[in-house]
Amino acid sequence: MPESATLSAPSATETRHMFLNIGPSHPAMHGIVQLIVELDGERVVKTDVEIGYLHRGFEKMSELGPYNNVIPYADRLNYVSPLINNFGYCLAVERLLGIEATERCQFIRVIMSELSRITDHLTCVGASAMELGAFTVFLYMIKAREWLWELVEAVTGARLTVSYGRVGGVKADLPGHFAARTRKALEDVRKVLLECDALLTRNRIFMDRMQGTGIISKEQAISYGITGPFLRGSGVALDVRKANPYFVYDRLAFDVPTGEHGDNYDRYLVRMEEMEQSMRLVEQALDRLPGGPINIDF
């Protein structure tokens, strides 16, 4: 080789982030949303979210007709926990009118709300696990959700769009043997949650994908107006059932789980524990369920 000939030094490897547009009409989304994500490999480093593509017109439709006509719309605010939205709307109208539901109705609302909350968390955790590859957990949790939906159907006559709440009460009383069926269902759900805990909570793949990802600090959560288990996962111990009790929550014992790091793993742990707390609430409410009417007499 001639002396003048030299080998050029290899250029440094250049790393670039990839931008991926998801939406705004992606069929897998719950509603029309657009996500512009910045990716470092498979890790999302930044996301620009546009949520303004969907307006169902609930507010405008609610201006027409009597108050109870809004109940079917409230069902559709969150299809996996429609009962909570039913009762939240009814409670708001009752406070405006200066009326209070009967004691039995309030206990029934607690029971049905907490069953609904469990089905919501089962759906959230199960679907999240499936999207990380843990399909078995999804099947187990959907199986458990089915047992609770059977209870909801026995009470309301429907599974998703229940339209069970009424201003001043509920549509119908609890059916016979409901307490025994519910206790058996909760016993079975607890077994499923133990199985899922064994499959997920200390699973190295699951932990690596959940810990340290999607971190939302206390300050960010509060500034964004985040609520529920998402807020509590960021370490804010705020639960309206304790901070501003309604129905008969102030007579029942339950804990408010919180996270420490505000990441996806903390939010998973909070939801897992909240399901146990909801089952505690249901069991206490069944034990103390009084007799009497389920609707006020206008």
What is residue 198's predicted lDDT score, i.e. its pLDDT?
Answer: 97
The pLDDT tens digits of the residues spanning 86-111 come to 999 999 999 999 999 999 999 999 99
For the chain of 298 residues, list the mean pLDDT of each consecutive stretch of 10: 54 82 70 87 89 78 92 89 95 96 98 98 96 95 97 95 96 96 98 98 95 95 96 97 97 98 98 98 98 91
What is the per-residue DSSP string for 236-248? ----HHHHS--TT
Q: Determine if residue 293 is left, alpha or beta; phi over 0 gives left, psi from -120 to 50 gives alpha, anything else beta.
A: beta
Q: Which amino acid is at 22?
A: I
**Location of structure tokens 């339209």:** 163
Domain formed by 66-288, architecture? Orthogonal Bundle (1.10)
What residue spans in the chain does CATH classification 1.10.645.10 cover?
A: 66-288
pTM for this one?
0.88
Q: What are phi and psi of 20, to 5 degrees?
A: -130, 130
What is residue 53's predicted lDDT score, i.e. its pLDDT?
Answer: 75
What is residue 151's predicted lDDT score, i.e. its pLDDT?
Answer: 98
Q: Which amino acid is at 111?
A: I
The pLDDT tens digits of the residues spanning 51-68 come to 777 677 888 889 988 999
